[in-house]
């Protein structure tokens, strides 16, 4: 479609939903997005509409290019778009990164609140979390992040977004990882040596009967460095202690930076019950450099009644190895 100034002026002054209009008219070309953005910044009075443009740009992978364009960066930084996400897009541009950090530094508490809201809006529908519940979630997460910052001797400004999974955003501050999102498929399973040692696992019930906000804190690990051999090793290790892992893949594991224990400046020894885990199974401690499950879900006590079709190949390999060992 033809994008001219008359149309852009009409869009800026009407009640038209910008995102819906652009999607309905398949306005995805880069040159069109740049033109719309330039016109909007110069002429539109409604800041919410500019925020919607930024959301659209992010949804269709234009935001990184836009914010790294110095003509647009100030407007994007001063929008309502989450600063935590903008930080992750501009690490190679010192000037723009510095501007984002200056804005965060002016109101660190608001930065945390904006980050929490970003996670809640990502993993929950608008009507699932009411105002009082959101306020409670904010208070709890602010307290957690402030404690981590103090323990890690880190400035809250350095909170960073590592990524997002099916159930949660993953943030890091110092050597600690904070996950905020929706409850996992198996929120409770036997604690064991092959999952990253959790410092905190907390749930906050919300409106929807199936809606539970899940918060977890653990140590940071090295990612994108493991092999299928590492995946099978962890699968096998769990089977050896009577458990089975039904989500074995490289994206769910990492390598320990430190030994797999709680690293905290002070007495912190949460029980299995406090961590909402079943009784600990196993008697070893994995060391720095060893592979570990860092995204623990779909871990069960082994039973023949379980449907293990999704891990049939690994299970067959495990059974064959056991049989060979028995006969040798």
Give how far Cα 7 sits from Cα of 14, 35, 314, Å. 10, 12, 58
What the block records as the tokens of 279 is 């009784």
Confidence at residue 287, expressed as pLDDT on a 0 to 100 scale: 98
Angular region, 224: left φ>0, alpha ψ -120 to 50, beta rest: left
Q: Is the pLDDT of residue 94 over 90?
A: no
Q: Which residue has the higher pLDDT, 275 or 62?
A: 275
Return the domain boundaries, the chain. 5-106, 109-221, 222-327
Query: What distance in Å separates the CA atoms of residue 270 and residue 201, rounded to the nearest whole number?
Result: 10
pLDDT tens digits along 156-201: 999 999 999 899 999 999 999 999 999 999 989 999 999 999 999 9
What values do phi and psi take at 17, rounded to 5?
-70, 110
Place of tokens 């590492």: 230
35 Cβ neighbours under 8 A, 6+ residues apart: 3, 8
Instruction: Report residue 23's pLDDT band, with 50, 70 and 90 as the boundaries.
Output: confident
Place of tokens 């959101």: 134
Place of tokens 């995946």: 231
Instruction: Determine what percent of the chain is predicted with pLDDT higher than 70.
Output: 98
Strands 212-219 and 176-182: antiparallel
Q: Is the pLDDT of residue 208 over 80?
A: no
Q: Which residue has the higher pLDDT, 28 or 269?
A: 269
Q: Is the pLDDT of residue 54 over 80?
A: yes
Q: What is the pTM of this model?
A: 0.89
Which fold is adopted by the domain 109-221?
Phosphorylase Kinase; domain 1 (3.30.200)
Instruction: Report residue 25's pLDDT band, with 50, 70 and 90 as the boundaries.
Output: confident
Q: Is the pLDDT of residue 69 over 80?
A: yes
| Helices and strands counted in the chain (H then E) | 12, 10
Query: What distance in Å separates the CA atoms of residue 289 and residue 196, rounded to the nearest whole number?
Result: 13
Confidence at residue 10, expressed as pLDDT on a 0 to 100 scale: 86
């Amino acid at each position: 479609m033809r994008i001219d100034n008359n149309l852009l002026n009409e869009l800026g002054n009407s009640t038209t939903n910008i995102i819906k209009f652009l999607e309905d008219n398949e306005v995805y070309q880069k040159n069109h997005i740049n033109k719309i953005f330039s016109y909007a910044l110069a002429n539109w009075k409604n800041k919410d509409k500019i925020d919607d443009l930024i959301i659209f740009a992010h949804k269709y992978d234009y935001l990184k290019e836009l914010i790294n364009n110095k003509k647009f960066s100030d407007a994007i930084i001063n929008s309502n778009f989450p600063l935590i996400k903008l930080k992750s897009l501009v690490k190679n541009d010192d000037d723009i990164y510095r501007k984002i950090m200056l804005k965060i530094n002016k109101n660190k508490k608001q930065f945390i609140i904006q980050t929490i809201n970003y996670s809640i809006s990502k993993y929950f529908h608008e009507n699932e979390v009411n105002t009082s519940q959101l306020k409670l979630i904010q208070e709890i997460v602010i307290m957690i992040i402030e404690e981590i910052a103090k323990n890690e001797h880190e400035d809250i400004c350095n909170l960073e977004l590592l990524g997002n999974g099916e159930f949660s955003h993953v943030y890091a501050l110092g050597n600690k990882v904070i996950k905020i999102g929706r409850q996992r498929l198996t929120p409770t399973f036997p604690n064991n040596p092959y999952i990253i040692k959790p410092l905190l696992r907390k749930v906050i019930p919300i409106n929807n009967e199936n809606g539970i906000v899940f918060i977890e804190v653990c140590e940071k690990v090295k990612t994108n460095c493991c092999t299928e051999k590492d995946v099978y090793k962890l699968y096998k290790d769990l089977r050896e202690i009577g458990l089975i892992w039904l989500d074995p893949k490289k994206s769910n594991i990492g390598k320990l930076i430190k030994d797999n224990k709680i690293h905290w400046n002070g007495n912190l020894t949460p029980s299995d019950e406090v961590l909402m885990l079943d009784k600990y199974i196993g008697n070893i401690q994995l060391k720095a450099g060893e592979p570990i499950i860092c995204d623990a879900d779909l871990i069960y006590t082994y039973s023949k009644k379980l449907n293990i079709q999704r891990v049939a190949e690994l299970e067959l390999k495990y059974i064959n190895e056991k049989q060979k060992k028995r006969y040798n």
